[in-house]
Amino acid sequence: MIIGSLLLRRHYNYALGQRLDWLNTTRCQVDRCSLISCPIGEISSRPDYYFQQSALKQTKELFPDYKEIYSEVQQINLQRLDKAWKSWLIPNKTGKRSGRPRFKKSGKLRSLCFSRVNHPLISNKI
Q: pLDDT per residue over 39-76, tens digit each?
A: 556 667 888 999 999 999 999 999 999 998 888 889 99
Q: Buried b / exposed e across 106-119, counting CB within 10 Å, b at 16+?
A: eeebeeeeeeeeee
Distances (CA, A) of 116 to 17, 75, 104, 109: 29, 13, 26, 20
Do 65 and 7 touch, CB atoms closer than 8 A? Answer: yes
Do 38 and 30 touch, CB atoms closer than 8 A? Answer: no
For 71-106, what is each residue's pLDDT tens digit?
Answer: 888 999 999 999 999 999 888 888 888 899 999 888
Residues 6+ apart with CB under 8 A from 76: 113, 115
The answer to whether residue 38 scores a pLDDT higher than 90 is: no
